[in-house]
Structure 1
Amino acid sequence: MTAGEQDIGVQLIALLPNMRRFALSLTRIPDLADDLVQQACERALANAASFQAGTRFDAWIFRIIRNLWIDRLRREKTAGPTDDIEERVDIVGEDGDSTTEARLTLATVSGAIERLPDEQREVIMLVCVEDLSYRETAGVLGVPIGTVMSRLARGRKRLAELTGINASSDRSPEQRD
């Protein structure tokens, strides 16, 4: 193993939770997401020399994950989301009311994210969850920054609609009159 592969290996280990979260947002199936992360790690190690020093490693690996997923979709021609939210009503936390409310909120938001079009869901996950900049997200997705911004705006608006958030509540009191 070369020094570059060792460096990438250390970075991959540190980034595994983020990789899995992004893979889950694409696949919606935990086992499939794990396979996708494994394939991405293999590809990153095999192509360690192609990583450009000074760029964000996470953006590079997210692009690998996304490309692998697109390749898989094309190859298998699969479609349709699968619900992977673990709804275990038999487990109650220490504070049953708060736990139940949190689970309901999580289920509502997760369901709303699942219902977003793929391109909006990808941008929401990369910008809002993985904390990539618009420029980095544009690089991962291979689209212009303006496209990222418009997809994000449409995605946020759709999430607000799907979760029942009143957009007018974001305005200041003077604007609400």
Structure 2
Amino acid sequence: MAFQTAQLEMQIPQLRRYARALTGDAWAADDLVQDTLERACDRWQLWKAGSDLRAWLFTLMHNLFVDGVRRAMRQAGQRVDIDDVAQELATPAGSTDQVLDLQRCLLRLPEEQREVLLLVTLQDLTYEEVARITGIPVGTVMSRLSRARARLRELMDGTAAMPATVVPLKRLK
């Protein structure tokens, strides 16, 4: 177990970085890392020696995060569309701290796009590893990554279009 513990400890900085980017909150990120490590220790026998430990840990973290989001949505009983509160998130004109806007813009991405973007860019995982972690096909990973990058560019440039009002369509017979 000493060798396994050392391997696990080596992954903590990457887990913390990904959790911080996912949650946007230091306390929530630390809780997510702690939960991930607890689950890893409880289910250590499920990890196959010689396989990618990092991918296995990220899979555990991904599943815990998704479960937490779903649980929070059930408890809240309602969803808030980020575009409905966009004016509250908008940066004041002439703000000099645009670097800090990256975190806010990342949080405005849809969760599935943000996860893929962070795993590929921040953690430097391959598309195949991301597909295995998230449980989606490689093509979907590439599509979500492309859409996430485009949307993030729009948000950072301030050119992101606000959602248009929905025009009801007439039914034709």
TM-score interval (norm. to shorter): 0.7 to 0.9
Once residues 152 and 29 of structure 1 are traced to their aligned partners in structure 2, the CA distance between those partners, rounded to angstroms, is 23
Higher mean displacement: 42-51 or 66-75: 66-75
Do the aligned partners of 1:60 and 1:140 also contact (CA within 8 Å) in 2? yes
What is the CA–CA distance in structure 1 between the aligned matches of 2:72 and 2:156, rounded to whole Å? Answer: 32
2:17 counterpart residue number? 21
Counterpart CA distance in 1 for 2:118 and 2:56 is 15
Alignment of 1:31-110 (within 5 A): 31-77=27-73, 104-110=97-103
* 1:155 maps onto 2:151 in alignment: no
- Matched residues in 2 for 1:14 and 1:23: separation? 15
**CA-to-aligned-CA distance 1:143-175 (integer Å, 9 cap, x gap):** 000000000000111111111299xxxxxxxxx
Verify: 1:121 aligned to 2:114, yes or no: yes
The AA in structure 2 aligned to 1:65 is M
Question: What's the CA shift for 1:119?
Answer: 0.7
Q: Which segments of 5 or more consecutive residues in structure 1 lack a partner in the other structure?
A: 82-99, 167-177
Return the alpha-carbon distance in structure 2 between the equivalents of residues 23 and 145 of structure 1: 22
Quote how far apart the aligned CAs of 1:28 are.
1.9
Residue 26 (structure 1) shift: 2.4
Per the alignment, residue 131 of structure 1 pairs with 124
1:102-154 deviation per Cα after TM superposition (whole angstroms, max 9, x unaligned): xx342132222111110110011000000000000001100000000000000
Percentage of pairs with the same residue: 40
CA contact (8 A) 2:24 2:103 kept: no
CA-based RMSD: 2.3
Residue identity matched to 1:47: R
Moved over 4 A (4+): 78-81
- Counterpart amino acid of residue 108 in structure 2: R
Distance 2:102 2:125 in 1: 20
Q: Distance in 2 between matches of 1:7 and 1:112?
A: 40
**TM-score, structure 1 length as denominator?**
0.72
Equivalent residues, number: 142
- Unaligned 5+ segments in structure 2 are 83-94, 160-173
